[in-house]
Amino acid sequence: MDERTDEALVEAYVDGDRAAFAELIGRYREPLLHFLGRFLGSWSAAEDVFQETFVQLHLSASMFDPARRFKPWLFTIAANKARDYHRKHGRHPMVSLSASVDRQQEGRSFVDLLQTSLPSPQKPILDAERSRLVKSVVDSLNPHLREILLLSYFQRMSYNQIAGALQVPLGTVKSRLHTAVAAFATSWQAVMVREGRVPR
């Protein structure tokens, strides 16, 4: 296992270490594909944008500042490529959001429902059903709100990192995330009523 940091790998790649680039692809294939798949609503589109993201990384590697963190920079590229895809192909999701969101446990707030993990083996039916409901709610959100939830709660990016990735002011990130969480809460409550989980 390569123990170098992401930032060191980028520097090594710029210096001619081709294996460093392959290591970066391996490290970020799963999380980046999950982000793109959720946002684009299509796993085939996510694969295309993933490849475009790393092509851009190859082209821009020499401009990366190793004093900064690599992950937010990579997700900035990916978010821009995803928006380009939307502009070219329209917003017509091919499949429902399907990445696992199964860390949920009874008694947690609606914000906790956005955390990801493996399901508990003691309650697979409950976890699978809750996962389905969470995905349906996230899938129903406005793309801008869905995008910011994915970056904040699934990718655990800070406000400043999200601002850089979305190229918006810090205040916009905070207000948009507040709106997104409120929209999720409202939709989640409606789903719970519809499913008979809480009284009308």
Cβ-based neighbours of 143, under 8 Å, separated by 6 or more: 39, 86, 91
Is residue 134 domain-shared with residue 158, that is, in the same domain? yes
Q: Write down the pLDDT at residue 54.
A: 93
- Domain that includes residue 145, residue range: 96-200
Mind giving me the DSSP string for 2-35? --S-HHHHHHHHHTT-HHHHHHHHHHHHHHHHHH
Is residue 87 domain-shared with residue 179, that is, in the same domain? no
Q: Residue-wise over 169-190: b if at least 16 C-beta within 10 A, else e? A: eeeebeebbeebbebbeebbee
CATH at 112: 1.10.10.10
Last residue of a domain, one of 42, 66, 93: 93
Q: Write down the pLDDT at residue 184.
A: 83
Is residue 11 domain-shared with residue 101, that is, in the same domain? no
Last residue of a domain, one of 93, 113, 134: 93
Is residue 194 domain-shared with residue 144, that is, in the same domain? yes
Is residue 118 domain-shared with residue 144, that is, in the same domain? yes
- Per the structure, how many domains does the chain have? 2
pLDDT tens for the 200 residues of the chain, in order = 678 999 999 999 999 998 999 999 999 999 998 888 888 878 888 899 999 999 999 999 999 988 888 998 999 899 888 888 888 876 544 333 333 333 333 334 434 444 433 344 444 445 667 777 777 888 788 888 888 888 887 777 888 888 887 888 888 888 888 888 888 888 888 877 787 765 55
107: region left, alpha or beta (phi > 0 left; psi from -120 to 50 alpha): left
Last residue of a domain, one of 58, 93, 128: 93
Is residue 48 domain-shared with residue 111, that is, in the same domain? no
Is residue 69 domain-shared with residue 5, that is, in the same domain? yes
Q: Write down the pLDDT at residue 198.
A: 55
Is residue 6 domain-shared with residue 78, that is, in the same domain? yes
